[in-house]
Amino acid sequence: MASPPNALRLLLLEDDAALREEILLPGLADYGFAVTGVATAAALYENLRVREPDIVVLDVGLPDADGFSVAQAVRALLPRIGIIMLTGHGTTSEQVRGLSQGADAYLVKPAQLDLLAATVHSLARRLRGATPAPAANNDQKWHFDASDWCLIAPNGATIPLTKTEQRVLARMSSTLGQLVTREHLVAAVADDVHDFDPHRIESLIHRLRRKVLARCGEPLPLKAIHGKGYVLEDTRHTAD
């Protein structure tokens, strides 16, 4: 599936081929990012000459360079770019070194994909100069931003969404307060409805609810109508 036209452009430098190709690249693409992967600092610099990404995700341990030096060089070359460093060493001294040499964020591997996606979204908002989400939302609404692939809770917490979760909430939020049948959700999320097991919808909804509750401490206002489908509540508790 092609990346959305407004997708954030990520350049990922990770020398571990399995981690890069099997986990990070498809995982980040599933969160709606346009991501390019490279294995060496030389390849990263070559890519930067061709097209400037929004954010560089950079492994500290590299075969042809020191990751901290690369972060420093990228920062000097492109002062406004976002830099997220990944490392297997989580000591405070290394975190301080990474942040002091140009990184905007520093995550310890193996970084969970939803945490990495949330960090990318947060950094992108800072780079754009966007006003942070309020600590508490007085209208008690859930805000769904289809273009940003995230859900914002009434308390201001941001939940990054995968491609499938984004499709579900886009379909549900288009008819707030109304029943959306399981068949309609299958049509929204499946590339081929004939090869899609409709029972996967229940599992998907269950995981989405758990994810939202874990990340923001509030339950998603999504009600199951037994044997029929789901209703995303409107007015006082909505996604919009």
Tokens 């975190």 found at: 95
Last residue of a domain, one of 78, 96, 128: 128
Q: Is the peptide bond before 110 cis (omega within 30 degrees of 0)?
A: yes
pLDDT confidence of residue 134: 45
Say if residue 148 is in the same domain as residue 205. Answer: yes
Confidence check: pLDDT of 240 > 70: no
- Domain of 43: which CATH number? 3.40.50.2300
Per-residue pLDDT band for 5 (boundaries 50, 70, 90) equals: low
Q: What is the pLDDT of residues 128-145, one digit of tens each?
A: 875 444 444 455 688 887
Whether residues 40 and 80 share a domain: the answer is: yes
Please tell me the least confidently modeled range out of 33-37, 92-96, 204-208, 234-238.
234-238
Residue 239: DSSP 8-state:
B
Structure tokens at 134: 């309020």
- Looking at the structure, tell me whether residues 224 and 173 fall in a common domain: yes
pLDDT at 234 over 70: no
User: pLDDT by residue (tens digit) across 64-108?
Assistant: 888 889 999 999 999 999 999 998 776 777 777 777 778 899 998
Q: Which of 56, 47, 37 is nearest to 102 (CA)?
A: 56
Q: Are strands 150-152 and 143-145 parallel, antiparallel or unpaired?
A: antiparallel
pLDDT at 109: 84
pLDDT at 17 > cutoff 90: yes
- Whether residue 46 sits in one domain with residue 78: yes
Q: What is the pLDDT of residue 148?
A: 75
Domain of 227: which CATH number? 1.10.10.10
Residue range(s) defining the domain that contains residue 220? 143-232
Average pLDDT over residues 50-72: 91
Angle at 152 between CA 235 and CA 178, to 5 degrees: 35
Give the residues across from 35 on adjacent strands. Answer: 10
First CA to last CA across the chain, in angstroms? 25
Look at residue 238 in the predicted model and tell me its pLDDT.
42
186-195, pLDDT tens digit by residue? Answer: 999 888 888 8
pLDDT at 235: 45
